[in-house]
Amino acid sequence: MRAQRREVSPPQRGEERARGEWLADTVDARLPVTDGAGRLLRKAFPQHWSFFLGELALYSLVVLVLTGVWLTLFFKPEMREVVYDGRYVPLRGVRMSAAFDSTLHISFDVRGGLLIRQLHHWAALVFVAAIGAHLLRVFFTGAFRRPREVNWVIGVTLFLLSLAEGFAGYSLPDDLLSGTGLRIAQGIMLSIPVVGTYVSMFAFGAEFPGQDIVPRLYSLHILLLPGVLIALVTVHLILVFYLKHTQWRGPGRTNRNLVGKPLFPHFTATSAGLSLLVFGVLTLLAGLAQINPVWTYGPYRPDQASTGSQPDWYVGFLEGALRLVPPWETAVAGHTIMWNVLLPAVVLPALLFLVLYAYPFVEQRLTGERHEEHHLCDRPRERPVRTGLGVAGITFYGVLLLAGGNDVVAQTFRISLNTLTWVLRIALVVAPVLAFMLTRRLCHALLESERQRLEEGVGTGDVRQTIDGGYESDHRPVEKFRPGAPRTPVSPPPAPDRHPDRRTGTPAQEPPAPAHRTR
């Protein structure tokens, strides 16, 4: 008997919808897909270029991690002595540490090794510079104020750790230049009263240069410091998402919203393009601009030092401070206190970072803004004192950085080294004060000029005669404004709202604005 074919009817539309809803509910119960991810993807980001400085640091860190992992496959953090027998002929037969030998091996024997080494070094320089520039942007625009004080503290800590990470990596090759830097570091340790010798012995494992400093710096450089850096960057990004970005004042922009591009797809595309640009520029620098050619310095020897030795720029201010302080020493109970090393290399950096950590809290206390939330950026000219202090700090740092290469400057321009040193000593005290006064006055002048333009308008170039026989220029109202510029003659910073919803930037009792404008 012939079996009858059974026809299966397609599922009904209601059944398909029920299955889809069930699947969505099942996934969303375990992962933030429909609700959490949707709100995250609609989160707005400002479009001004200054807000991308932090991303430069982030993508430089990505390059650092990738190239650093590759370099660990070939570098040997050992201080045992070997005889070089590699491709670089001028150093063949020279006795050196295994660390320096492996650095030469990476540079000349490993395919693409020199490119990766230089890419790693350039990324480190850009990373520190981007963090510094980002901190300056936050400082001059007042983005460190409530509720972002913790993020400011995290940013300063990241900058401090990046300096330590850079110095540790810079010292690993054990060449003559980095060895000179380690010798200076040992002198700084010894300048600490009472415990200086113990600190030095602990770091180096014996009398300088010892056998343990490179392995210990290697552990710090590839494990501890990167781990802390990545953890702090993660916390920093979480707080940025939670507290929302600051933004420049303008039409439709208040403490309650954030006008900008949504995270996906607009901001994601912009950020991805920036990442590729960072990778490309760093690769071009690594391939075309030579940096840290350790083979020209040779292996480190305690009885030698390179002429015109210069550290990487981010520790150049410490070198300058050491060169400017006179040879002051004090003998107390049989112990010598080396003020010429202790003050510039220990006390000064400690005070500088203490000021950076404390500044947001001190300013808010002095201005009475401790209980107000600020989500709109200040223009630097609107805060003459803060801007003056920032420019004074930059001037102070610049003088120290210039002093770090005073021997090179004196030789290049054929001037007296002693005269240049005294000029820089005086400039270290006088220049920041002059920079503060000039900057504050300039801020007041710019504000007055803006007020006058808003009241009188912009000159059209037309001149007309009055009924009294005189002449006056014609004006028209101001029509174009820069981001954050005031629209009225009297435009104090708007009063902040006390309790905005930090996740969306809108009050809980008000309906949310469109996704492309507010989150």
Q: Which of 504, 514, 506 is nearest to 242 (CA)?
A: 504
For the entire predicted model, the pTM comes to 0.83
pLDDT at 16: 62
pLDDT of residue 230: 96
The strand pairing partners of 376, in sequence order, are 247
pLDDT number for residue 50: 86
Burial of 283 (0-12, 13-18, 19+ CB in 10 A): middle
- In the chain (519 residues long), the average pLDDT of successive 10-residue segments reads 48 62 69 61 80 93 96 94 93 94 95 96 96 96 92 96 94 92 92 90 86 92 95 93 84 79 83 94 96 92 78 90 92 85 94 96 89 88 96 96 92 93 96 97 93 78 77 72 60 44 41 40
First vs last C-alpha separation in the chain: 70
List the structure tokens of 241. 């998402």
What is the C-alpha to C-alpha distance for residues 246 and 292, in angstroms, rounded to an integer? Answer: 39
Return the sign of the alpha-carbon dihedral for residues 416, 422, 425, 427.
Answer: negative
Q: Are 146 and 372 in contact (CB under 8 A)?
A: yes
Question: How many helices (DSSP H) and strands (DSSP E) are in the chain?
Answer: 18, 8
Distance CA 182, CA 167 (A): 9
Would you state the pLDDT for residue 492? 44
Tokens of 364: 């808010």
Q: Are 360 and 143 in contact (CB under 8 A)?
A: no
Return the percent helix, strand and coil in the chain, to nearest 5: 60, 5, 35
Question: For 235, how many CA atoms within 13 A lie in the half-sphere containing its CB?
Answer: 14
